[in-house]
Structure 1
């Protein structure tokens, strides 16, 4: 008779994970397969005859990291050796991208607490600034070469003026533009999603005008390679002050 065990127990026994918690994480990330099928739960029953695979892990700590990674490549931005700031750091996806692209230091700024991934929290190149509202904080202790922005519930029109004094000479900004937080007529949103293509185009045009009127020059613009967590189309701007 074939022995029946919980999937998490098998993963531990095979030293594929170090704890039940890690087993839960890799299963929920969709990285574990049983007989070629994605595992449903770390508690599901498997037998000795089942073929269990653990596939490659995520490249970054946060899904949103793909947005900044694509922007740095598309806009040909070199952050090697630079001091940077990540506004709206959350779990640290953007922070990790900046480090992987060679940043010397990243100020990880977020209004929340305890969200930043542990490996980034322990990285000496990361200055953790939790419970910090960019709209109310004092200037950083030094000028920075690049500022990435990924904020929710707040328009970039409020954030950009606040971070302008942080930029060093020749410094630039990569800002994630989220139409759902820029639109004034909330009736256009369907369960928080702005599906109207024309409305999105109008918002982009209006923001482009705002940038010109407030001393920003556009170096690059692209649609995000992935949508927001709720399914919203988002955009990335590469900006410098003029």
Structure 2
């Protein structure tokens, strides 16, 4: 099965929805890494490289959003959720501006980029901000759907993306659907439930295959939206498994 990183799929989705003239894309000197170069090539008048100045990028995003634009602000998770936390909190979330903050290269799977770029705190930090929607897609298909959903949603969002290529799983699951704020049921089961997000969804599916061979029925919930959390799906699973 072909593999693709969620950041690569995001870049493709951004280019596809770029026909919306209200969409503006900002980068902090990492366009080739955040995979926004396709959008920039198609719509150069709506793509801006602000340089290594993430805090300023968020300030620019706030100003553009205040003028009615849909802004995607991109960098590594360490530099958006980390370095620009104050600006995201005060300039975007506090006034509820329509900016989509993207954090690529999140978690420990950043390869040669090393420990300084292994942002482990991004989901916790972004969840703590009132009014912030937080997303963590598990594969390329879901990353594309999440990108389109964010563009339609009015308000601040943060999406965590990975560096490594990952196997696709959601596009081969019958009945799969993506709804912002609702967990996706990937496997039905009655004995136990595994709730996973991001690249750990593939690990959950691998665990389900092992447990199924042992006669254990496993429900898999893909919690692509960390905030708002789908409490109903969690409580339903707790009652039924």
TM bracket (short chain): 0.3 to 0.5
- TM (norm. structure 2) is 0.37
Structure exhibiting the larger radius of gyration computed from Cα positions: 1
Relative to its length, the structure with more helix (as a share) is 2
- TM (norm. structure 1) is 0.37
